[in-house]
Structure 1
Amino acid sequence: MNVFENKKGKIILLKMVKTIQENKVYLGDLDGLIGDGDHGMNMNKGFSLFEKRYCKNDFSFTDGLKNLGMLLMNEIGGSMGPIYGTVFIGMAEAGENLETISLEDFSKILEAGYNGLMEIVEARAGDKTLVDTLFPTLKSLKTDVVLGVDFVVALDKMKAAAKQGSESTKDMVARYGRSSRLGERSRGVLDTGSVSCYLILAAMADGIKEILKEL
């Protein structure tokens, strides 16, 4: 079956939380190379608070995204709270009325989050930000919708696109954020936001795959 039930989405959010928790030191160390070093700490704080506050109860994929997004936007410092909050809330609103989610639905859900982000940031693909991860991920999903690719296969391709997008930031010069002050010196280091975005999207894909394989 190429759809998953929205109400079973808790497993997806738990995988996202675990991924951030497991990579908090790596993200902090990476951010310290060209940023202020607090990305891992802030992300871990937000995702762990979500786990503590909500994960004793069941919730749907979109309800989980909405609650996580609101928490990140309102209670976490730094620039990434509002950025990820906007993405997750946009995704949640796009899919909140769906009982089942297909590949096409998921593509539209992610596109809504991406479009919401584009309304609040000036960065675009090539500027060494998480947009460089989101853009190719969304492009991969939309292409596979048109081609009629199996959901699980499309999720694996989505993960590969996200990873490639994140890794592409290493050769870029930062144009936004604190690292942009370094100019050419920012080249040669991965953008931390692009890495956390890849980790989150990969965990999201793995969670959906786990639900699909249970059907």
Structure 2
Amino acid sequence: MNPETLNLHLRKTLSRGRVAQSAPAGCPEIPLYLFDPSVLEGPLSHDEAQAVVAEPAYWSFCWASGQVLAQWILDHPTLVAGKTVLDFGSGSGVVAVAAARAGAARAIACDIDPAALDAAAANAELNGVQVELCADWAQRPGHLDLITAADVLYDPENRPLLEAFRASAEQVLLADSRIRNLANPAYDKQAVIEARTWPDLNEFEEFNKVRIYLARGRL
């Protein structure tokens, strides 16, 4: 996957947009193609700002929760070794890449955004690993050992995912920086780790505290 493909995706909303290879501070062992902030030599025009807000390229940033979840997997490889792992809402693909690097038998990046799937493919190639792509949660493999997800609960309507994940895999590993209390006893908090989105978006400090949760599934 040529990174120029990612540039083309970015330029649909930001004419100056491009990606550059960098290593997020929260998971420095995993290089990624991410948004290159050096292109923003001046303020965004009104049209550029409107376009970016209307269709944000989430995949072009490595969010704090994604970094923490990826590093957690690298630090705890037995969670994924030899297993089929699906990362829901994969964005840049960093978590799926981490799972592949930590020895997963199958690492699957699942995202409804075609640009995110292209990013996952490009970043897998950059890291020399194989990552499968899934464009629709409904088309996921029949057996999953582990589902991972980072910051997918920002919308209250997504809360049912907590039980959907448990019903679909033997374990669920979740990272979240948006909700202080999941209010779901099935999810055991493992740690709270600080990280910042890369490139840094200067978010509120509260969004830099990432909580890791582990839950048993029902399979």
Fold match by TM threshold 0.5: no
Q: Which has the higher contact order (CA 8 A, sep 6+)?
A: 1
Relative to its length, the structure with more helix (as a share) is: 1
* TM-score (norm. length: structure 2): 0.31
Relative to its length, the structure with more strand (as a share) is: 2
